[in-house]
Structure 1
Amino acid sequence: MNITGEIPESLSSLRELNVLDLSSNKIQGKIPRWIWQHKKLQILYLYANRFTGEIESNITALNLVEIDVSANELTGTIPDGFGKMTNLTLLFLYFNKLSGSIPPSVGLLPKLTDIRLFNNMLSGSLPSELGKHSPLANLEVSNNNLSGELPEGLCFNRKLYSIVVFNNSFSGKLPSSLDGCYPLQNLMLYNNNFSGEFPRSLWSVVTDQLSVVMIQNNNFSGTFPKQLPWNFTRLDISNNRFSGPIPTLAGKMKVFRAANNLLSGEIPWDLTGISQVRLVDLSGNQISGSLPTTIGVLMRLNTLYLSGNQISGNIPAGFGFITGLNDLDLSSNKLSGEIPKDFNKLLLSFLNLSMNQLTGEIPTSLQNKAYEQSFLFNLGLCVSSSNSLQNFPICRARANINKDLFGKHIALISAVASIILLVSAVAGFMLLRRKKHLQDHLSWKLTPFHVLHFTANDILSGLCEQNWIGSGRSGKVYRVYAGDRTSGGRMMAVKKIWNMQNIDNKLEKDFLAEVQILGEIRHTNIVKLLCCISSSEAKLLIYEYMENGSLHQWLHQRERIGVPGPLDWPTRLQIAIDSARGLCYMHHHCSPPIVHRDVKCANILLDHNFRAKMADFGLAKILLKAGDDESFSAIAGTFGYMAPEYGHRLKVNEKIDVYSFGVVLLEIITGRVANDGGEYYCLAQWAWRQYQEYGLSVDLLDEGIRDPTHVEDALEVFTLAVICTGEHPSMRPSMKDVLNILIQFDRKSTRIQGRSHLPPRIAPAGNPVSRLPRDPLLPSFRNLSRLPHPSPIRPTSPSHFLPAQVADAPPSEAASRSPSSLLALVPQASTVSPQTASSRISTTTTIYPPYNAKEFEFDGDDWEGWTVYIEKAGKVDPNKLMHITSVLDCQSTLLEVINKIYVVSSDHSLVAFIIFIAARTSTPLSSALIIFSHRVILRLLQASPPRLQVAIIAALGRWSNYPYMAIGVVVQAVGSATSSSSSCNMPHRQRRHTNDALELGGPHKQRH
């Protein structure tokens, strides 16, 4: 809904009113006094509005069962009257500006199960009796100024499954009732002043529900059992005082942080049961022993921090098998021996092996300036040549001279001869070096891909430190001006690839062949590879120069580059579209397709007009032909952007780029960096949790794009980004689908340019708006729902359709007069012949779709019945629809068909029919179709009678991949119309009230 203004006083005359739902609107002013004094009111939902002022202190509406006035701008204190509502079960006041203390009487409520007061300015302590007199299940009071100890009886009734109190000033020991609180699932106590021994029973295997424990930055002490409960997925105890040996991690563990404690002993050697772990941080402890040789089984490990311990022995060779490893810190230990050669297989963004006792040659892939600070204070390390790291000696074979075999005279002669030889060698070396320098310039081979106006010498002469502009994982980048300025010289970017010396002939040919393919690419949104200059020592890739640098600089380093203000939304959207076009070309117009494998903001470059181009395809690999059962041997990518399956060495395809592009979209929209997930693993996980738990709100957006004119589009792009970063590759759309959706947003944005104001359809900052039922395929982190989701409307068996009425009148008349034709989708439809269908079309108002349920497709002959109907309607050319069966398996084509039908046809029954067909065949429709259909369905429903609305909802419920998301999209679109048209399909909680109910809000959020 989109209700504005204030709540009218006239509503107070509804004496029998027991449900008032005005949520997710734009209602302003103070909450009227009569609401808090209505004797029969039981359900009050006013969340996600713009209410201000204080809550009425004289409360006499004591029959209230559920109160949700969250996500507003309420001030003042929490009234004592809330403590008199003996039937109250839910109290949601979060995302307001409430201050003062929580009334002690709230702790005496006998039925209170869920209290959420987070993100306010509350002070004082929690009610001392909280949890002792009611089946309290969920407590969320984070981000306040609360202090004192947690109530002693918090889990007295053994119903508590979530405690979220982080970012306060709580202190003291944890309540004894938590000792044996077996239903507990989530415990988030971080950033407080808790102390004392952590309840050992919470580590017990009996506590099989507990999955998330985040208690970092407190003063807890205690020890661990030998093994943690199997259900643990995230454990963060950093910056406490835990001691004793490290436990064996749980099989589901993904994140284990225990930095800066007093843990001792050795790292457990049996790592085979924790192959899911992605981050381990044990730095700053007292761990001894050696590193497990079985560490190579941690195939999904991305980050490992073990610095500041007493670990000794050699570095095991198993690290070479962890191809997804991104950050590794083993510094400040007692490691010895050589660095394994398998480190050449790794592509690390961060490496620190300093302050150990390592010896031998540094692996060749690490002998470059990107790792210059990674090996400090290891006196026994050396490098292969003087062109490598400058602070290390060159490795030489030392001959052991037996001094007993030589006398003093021989030693003296040897010394004199050595001096003579040394002088001769220096002179000869200088001559050879000068000669070699001249030969090197002659030995460079230039392979052009465009018409060039410069030579190899022009480029080589510009490779000096003053022209250096940056380094990446693949090499150093220089800005070089080549050619005569008076005759058309130009600026270019020159990338010098790391570690290309001493490669064999096969690798040399493979590299040049791949560069040749990339050099032949011609696309507006891909940075031009002008030429390649190669020799036996190095490889240079010369690209066109992009004046405005990278998107990463404009989003995250504006102060460094001296940018006065952030990018506006139209510019960000255009950059996203340009980047999508480049990737779409590589995926869908190259044969075989090319996967970038390192899509990130730093690889999206901007020209002088801020048009974006994809850069750095130097790490890309040509995809194998379909059917080749192989995987790529090399892993590229950057932490925060890498798709989950990429680090597991599964077969790589274009969907890893879709994931990375989704992260880029999240950066564009939120302003966060890719590895900034807050309490979560990365930005993508943070976005999924925000979308799942709180929906869409302005708070998600970067401050630079909160202009009301563009907020709605920005939030829809956020939704697209969330779907692009789905955990399963099959759930992600193709880049072609993504591009089509972004272009739709761009067209809409272009249409509204020039308007002075476009009222936003979302709430102001702090107001979560989208309260859709959770998609079961979305990851479940908090799992706060205790009741099942309402089931979508669906046929009782695979061979049945639900009946629906469709108005054959024009859209403007559909709601004003009775329908003149009906679309009856009945079980007998598959038995109707074309002739029967045609005759019924011409003689009756009932249409039977010629559907062959057994074959899950339309027979060619039976399709004639529908072509007659379409022809009779005279809305579209039936020839355009003749091949509908052939496009059902092609998501993009189906999307285009629905779009074209909608554009050229005002016959909404036809559009509804196409939606039925797609749903009926269980076609795995892409997420792009769902997002796009949101707009089409929205318009369709607005011009359809209630019965057609119900029919469309039934069809959408058949989308097997996204049933709840599909239902949520429609419920959000039609609001109360669907509720009033078919009350029998309402969730149980909504239809249990038989008296008056005023429900003008958005979709109901799920209750616990």
Structure 2
Amino acid sequence: MITCWILERRCLQGLHCFLSNKSIPILDVQEEEFAVLEMGSRRQTFLLIFASQILAILGQTNSNDAAALFALKASWNNLPPNWEGPDPCGSSWAGVICNNSRVTSIKLSGMGLEGNQFGDLSSLSALQILDLSNNVGLKGTLPPSIGNLKNLTTLILVGCSFFGPIPASIGSLEQLVFISLTSNSFTGPIPPSIGNLSKLSWLDLSDNKITGTIPISHDSVLGLDSLVSTRHLHLSKNQLSGPIQPQLFSPDMKLIHVILDHNQLTGEIPESLGSLQNLEILRLDWNSLNGSVPSKLNNLTSLNELYLSNNNLNGSIPDLTGMNLLTYVGMSNNSFNASSVPQWFTSLPLLKTIYMENTTLQGQIPVDIFSLANLETIGLANNKLNGTLDIGTRYGNNLTLDLRNNSIKDFTQKTGYNMNISLAGNPICDGTGATAKYCAIQISNDSFSSPMSCPAMSCNSDKTLSPTCKCSYPYTGTLHFFSLSFSNLENSSYFSTLAGSMMKAFLSNGLPVDSVSLSDPTVDVYSYLQIEAQIFPATQDSFNHTSISSIGFLLNRNPFQLQYFGPFFFTSEGYCCFADGKKKSSHTGLIIGISVGCALLVLLTLCAGLYAFHQRKIAKRAGHSSNPFESWDRDTSGAVPQLKGARWFSFEEIRRCTNNFSESNCIGSGGYGKVYKGTLTAGEVVAIKRAQHGSMQGAFEFKTEIELLSRIHHKNVVSLVGFCYEQGEQMLVYEYIPKGTLRESLSVKPKFQLEWTRRLRIALDAARGLAYLHELADPPIIHRDVKSNNILLDDHLTAKVADFGLSKLLRDDDKGHVTTQVKGTLGYLDPEYYMSQQLTEKSDVYSFGVVLLELITARAPIERGKHIVRLVAETMYDSKDNSKLYQLIDPRIGPGSKLEGVDRLFALGMRCVNESGADRPSMGEAVKEIESILEIASLSKHREDGLTSTTYEDTTQVSLDDFYNDKAFDYSGKYPSGGLNTTY
């Protein structure tokens, strides 16, 4: 190796002399640089980059472009495996498109890239398209040098982890037509220089942390009002403040979508909005806008969807007569003058959705409204509507009518009607003739998935059955729609139309897509529709890198002609099973190129090849020990020394105890895979979580999770029995919890009823389990996915916290938080964590607060587009004597006014979901409060049953001092001899 190193040095020096008189870009090789080069991978990388610059002359790639791509290759990880060889264009590197030796397009969507540098990207002067979307591992700031890409037309960075300010130099990219920086963490103001982009059609800066005002032109500085060619202006879910200046909009503009919701905008709605004759969607909801709605909005005759809810608007309810294309009207939670239900509703023939909750409406509802042919939802809850409800006979069968908390005294059609009606909280429900059909609190179970017409077919555990009855690996992600015209999520025709539009676009762009499956539509807390999408490959059972990047680009470029749906963006955590997996590296092209160039280059390649061969031998030897499980000695008992109480199972053992993974043993499934019930040879019943191929972790990560779970021993946390890591499988074996999830017990048709004190005990059990994870585990554990589906009930209805697939350790050097990609379940997700990507123990507290509200109300976290936290907060604010708050309580546990401690549990739940994590209690504090509430409720119940408080205290009281005392508590949930068992 020393001989080869000396020869290598002389080769390079000779090449430098040979080429120094020619205008060929080459690395500057100096004597002192050889002295500092290490004997490892840095030398190999140096040699390959050096050789690639020479061979770029002989290949098809411009030398500057080749150098820039090699700089990217050196800066980023997880690039496609065919990024090899010295000629990117000639070798057709995945995601790289060239024209006349120049790199014109880089599409690397969904590749799992990691890195925080852009290398020399700005030197790709011919680049027209840059798509790095859905690479959450890409982070750092956007460099000002991006302004050098003068030919750039499309910039897509959706779903990455970029932060810091958007550079002002982006305004010098005069060819830009499409910008989407959605779902990052960009901060600072919107650069006014974007106003220079006269060709810009799509501007999407949504879902960031952008502050300041919306810039407009002043003096000689252009602002966003100069974007006369722009059709899409998406600035939602930021921290924009100040008024919407009237100058922002003008008749010359071509805007069809103005989406400014979920900011901190103030002032009045500008009349100039009425000049946008092409406008189809207007979202101004969830701001602090005030004043009256300008009458000139009536000029928006092309408008389909109008969102004005959750502002401080006042004055008269606007008259929308003449806006005949309107399908969606949302004006809830404003302070309009008291008014009857607007008659102009009946003049809008295409209306599908009306939300006017809490808008001081009064009087009777005109019967003509119900006869609108396309109407799907009327939400008029929390108003002052009165009299007799008459729905007529011409209503649609799919109509949902929400009239909760009004003053309606009678209902003409008490029987025989065919629509969803909720009259809970009206005087009619206090009478003897009321029925549960319209007085019970309705729980939405809207769902949809693409229909499957396959005969009895199934795929093995790591493949999915497509709508065309093929087993393959789909590309899976989420479509996030900024708006939607409909509200009936059970109407399959909407989603069939969407799937058809997507397939048409895929096929017309030559993509190898066989079919599209859509499922699980939900309307999130931001009133955005989210749909899970699976895109199946056509020509083989998986996509290659080029296909995945092309699909991701198309989905975020939005060339679709969509009916019913507004604009959207696509997010994905990556693809599991690339068809062009990593192959062994080859230097054949390098040898050929060097032999053509000169004999010295052959010698250089020989040296580099010998060195690489030596490194591969080292890597091969190291590979035998790269499996972290190699060092685990499985003795005769099957125990693994590093684990505390968990054992290693063979694949054959697991297969036998699950009856060969039969469907009859399957008790659950999700994105991770399936859960099977099994019986071990000793008779112990267990639950086996089997990861599907696409959700598997790396070996080291799986080992870390097992060691973490094996250290958790508490009566309120599901315990790990063991694991299997054989034959490409990752399986976790847990204790079996027979009574299912808390969510199932709160459903419309539960297997058993949960009375009030039992619900309090479940809340206490769950709180104790989480407090153990936060305060007694070493290091502390943040669960990250606390929800009612992850709280299980055993035979005694003792609650246990389960599923640690997303959990994170909080080590001493983490300073109280872990910066990580946002993961969790919609409805339970801490908004502070969502915005900052800083995970803390208080994120679990927020999720636990949502669970408390579920326990009291039995409502899902998001129901009919409304978050339970928002619903309770509004009701608390509007209910001076708690009467309206009591109407939210699950009627199966009795009248709220008679439930001891319910007010305090409501208050605790709302403290847990405080917007600021610092203002939330710790889980230990939550435990103490629930214990106090339970003691009061139990004493009350015992008094009703004729028992004394002494009897209760002597049998069930547990000291919190003991609970948090390591010596008195053995982590199994039981006290040592002489202590008391926790009987809650």
TM over 0.5: no
Structure ID, larger Rg: 1
